Amino acid sequence: MTSTPFDALVIGSGQAGPSLAVRLAEHGWRTALVERGELGGTCVNNGCTPTKTLVASARAAWVAKHAADFGVRIAGEVSIDYAAVHARMMTVVQGSRDGLGHWIAGTANLSLVHGEARFVGADSVQVGEQVLQAPRIFLNVGARPVVPDWVAASGVPYLTSESLMGLRELPSHLVILGAGYISLEYAQVYARFGSQVTIIEHGNRLLPREDDEVAATVKAVLERDGVRFMIGANATALERDGTGVALVVDGQRVGGSHVLVAIGRRPNVEALDLARAGVTCDAHGIVQVDEQLRTSVPGIWALGDVNGRGAFTHTSYNDYEIVAANLLDGDPRRVGDRVPAYALYTDPPLARIGMSRAAARQSGKRVLVGHLPMSRVGRARERGETDGFLEALVDADTQRILGATLLGIEADEAVHCLLDVMSAGLPYTAISRTMHIHPTVSELIPTMLQSLKPLE
Ligand SMILES: Cc1cc2nc3c(=O)[nH]c(=O)nc-3n(C[C@H](O)[C@H](O)[C@H](O)COP(=O)(O)OP(=O)(O)OC[C@H]3O[C@@H](n4cnc5c(N)ncnc54)[C@H](O)[C@@H]3O)c2cc1C
Ligand SMILES: NC(=O)c1ccc[n+]([C@@H]2O[C@H](COP(=O)([O-])OP(=O)(O)OC[C@H]3O[C@@H](n4cnc5c(N)ncnc54)[C@H](O)[C@@H]3O)[C@@H](O)[C@H]2O)c1
């Protein structure tokens, strides 16, 4: 087998891979980008892009069904054309894939290689019948849904966030295992499309990483949309139930038309045969990296979900920026420089940055909290959507913002003023003394910060 030399290999076209490959190629390095599936990885093909397109359709359904509350009459019944919803989603997904394809094809020095990469040495991978060799290899191979053995071995059809993309009919009753990010976004989407939705969570509440008030508010919002929760419930078997399926939960059968497994994700490392290169990963398959995303083997880096330093599109893209800055710009950026940040796209959304209340209590710091219900936000009252709250945590000694939780309309956008001040290391007064525009959600963030009290 002949070996083709490159200056750099990027394995996986996730949220770091394409940008990094283009940057390296523009730097003048002969670069290969290896992808075994569709361009764009999880985010484009079965993650952010399709889910947020469905969230938009579900929002349109909700607005149409509640139009009368706003004095708008819609003659006749509001109904869902799921084929059209699906087609719209695939148009947006295809547009993103095509955009990436044109970008890569139009970049000099960059070759796209279709196929699955497997290490055959610390500086070479095999893809089909060819071996690609380079002194620098970047892993951006992402993660996939975890499926319990008792589900996989049942012989009964089940859905994951990947196979759900192929679903062409609206489930009459979607039973979801797990109550994390994937579950809650899909639960609300399908409930708003008119499906019955039941969530089975084995923990003692939904969203185990969030504070109690967040979990309770999100649960109440979803219940109002018709979602049924079984919390602290243990599912142990999947069976056929007539034309549908049933989970056996604490000895009781919970039947539905479809079951979606959403209990977490694990890195795609098996196919890489990392041992051949000597790259170390932990028992969960997470590739061990340092602050500049170097693995245990010089010349091999790991970016995105596979390195366990974040499991979001923006963390993966930020990984690309860190690697490129260190390698090409002489700028020693580090993972620790970034403030943890993410959003959950239920409606209304949850935006989280930095510490939660629970983490702040454990930090040993003297913590102040500002808290304001969304019912105090004029913009929310005008829209008739007052669920949620604005909250920020401040270090009483340094005046620095430690974290924030915004749950409410426009929270995913409004949170960025807090994030930028936190990232810049400025005191909270940089916001609390700033005049914000009326009527916005952000307008009430200075007000919330003017009412800080000790965190109990
Ligand atoms: C339903 C869902 C909704 C989500 N919503 C959001 C959201 O709203 N916001 C957000 O920030 N994040 C969201 N995420 C998470 C986000 O999609 C991921 O964190 C993001 O895609 C980063 O992934 P990545 O860059 O690590 O790689 P991925 O995007 O997973 O891509 C990895 C690529 O590597 C390829 N690959 C793997 N192994 C090999 C190999 N051996 N050879 C060749 N190619 C290989 C795969 O085919 C894939 O294309 C969501 C995820 C899911 C599942
Ligand atoms: N808006 C976003 O940014 C977004 C949206 C969706 C997914 N994601 C990414 O995808 C990742 C994975 O999402 P996820 O929802 O699959 O996982 P998750 O880790 O967020 O949630 C899994 C849930 O399943 C529960 N669970 C685990 N095993 C179970 C079992 N056997 N029975 C019942 N419940 C069980 C857990 O207690 C937890 O509540 C997220 O962590 C995130 O990184 C992000």
Q: Looking at ligand 2, which atom is closest to the CA of residue 262?
A: 16
CA of 162 to the centre of ligand 1 (A): 11
Q: Looking at the structure, do residues 211 and 66 belong to the same domain, yes or no?
A: no
Active site residues: 438
Q: Looking at the structure, do residues 352 and 427 belong to the same domain, yes or no?
A: yes
List, in sequence order, every residue forming a beta bridge with 20; answer none if it has no partner.
none
177 close to ligand 2 (CB < 6 Angstrom): yes
Q: Looking at the structure, do residues 140 and 283 belong to the same domain, yes or no?
A: yes
Please enumerate, by residue number, every residue annotated as part of a binding site for FAD.
Answer: 52
Name the stretches of the chain with pLDDT < 70: none
Q: Looking at the structure, do residues 406 and 345 belong to the same domain, yes or no?
A: yes
CA of 100 to the centre of ligand 2 (A): 28
Q: Looking at the structure, do residues 310 and 385 belong to the same domain, yes or no?
A: no
CA of 318 to the centre of ligand 1 (A): 14
Q: Looking at the structure, do residues 136 and 173 belong to the same domain, yes or no?
A: no
pLDDT reported for residue 122: 97
Q: Looking at the structure, do residues 36 and 132 belong to the same domain, yes or no?
A: yes
Q: Looking at the structure, do residues 114 and 76 belong to the same domain, yes or no?
A: yes
Q: Looking at the structure, do residues 33 and 134 belong to the same domain, yes or no?
A: yes
Q: Any residues with CB less than 8 A from the CB of 262 and at least 6 apart, and which?
A: 145, 160, 161, 176, 177, 178, 180, 182, 183, 186
Q: Looking at the structure, do residues 206 and 235 belong to the same domain, yes or no?
A: yes
pTM of the model: 0.97
Consecutive H or E run containing 218: helix 212-224
Structure token digits, residue 239:
């069976």
Number of domains in the chain: 3
C-alpha 343/C-alpha 337 separation (Å) is 19
Provide φ and ψ at 443, rounded to 5°.
-55, -30
Q: Looking at ligand 1, which atom is closest to the CA of residue 182?
A: 1
Q: Looking at ligand 2, which atom is closest to the CA of residue 179?
A: 39
Looking at 202, 232, 263, the residue that finishes a domain is 263
List, in sequence order, every residue forming a beta bridge with 343; answer none if it has no partner.
351
CA of 260 to the centre of ligand 2 (A): 12
Q: Looking at the structure, do residues 347 and 333 belong to the same domain, yes or no?
A: no
pLDDT reported for residue 295: 98
**Contact (CB, 8 A) for 382 and 327:** no
Please enumerate, by residue number, every residue annotated as part of a binding site.
Answer: 52, 178-185, 201, 264, 305
For position 429, which CATH number holds? 3.30.390.30
**Tell me, what's the ipTM?**
0.97
List, in sequence order, every residue forming a beta bridge with 301; answer none if it has no partner.
138, 294
**Contact (CB, 8 A) for 282 and 201:** no
Q: What is the dihedral of CA 105, 106, 109, 110, to 10 degrees?
A: -30
pLDDT reported for residue 1: 74
235 close to ligand 2 (CB < 6 Angstrom): yes
pLDDT tens track for 71-93: 999 999 999 999 999 999 999 99
pLDDT reported for residue 2: 80
Q: Any residues with CB less than 8 A from the CB of 154 and at least 6 apart, and which?
A: 237, 238, 239
Q: Looking at the structure, do residues 13 and 89 belong to the same domain, yes or no?
A: yes
B/e letters for 366-394, b = 16+ CB within 10 Å, e = fewer, are: ebbbbbbbbeebebbeeeebbbbbbbbbb
233 close to ligand 2 (CB < 6 Angstrom): no
pLDDT reported for residue 168: 94
Looking at 244, 263, 282, the residue that finishes a domain is 263
For position 178, which CATH number holds? 3.50.50.60
Q: Whose CA is nearest to atom 6 of ligand 1?
A: 48
Among candidates 356, 341, 358, which has minimal Cα distance to 412?
Answer: 341
Among candidates 12, 5, 31, 6, which has minimal Cα distance to 319?
Answer: 12
**Contact (CB, 8 A) for 374 and 440:** no
Q: State the residue range of the domain holding 236.
A: 149-263
Looking at 224, 239, 263, the residue that finishes a domain is 263
C-alpha 24/C-alpha 33 separation (Å) is 11
> What secondary structure letter does DSSP report for 357?
H
Neighbours of 26 (CB within 10 A): 14
Tell me the three state secondary structure of residue 159: strand
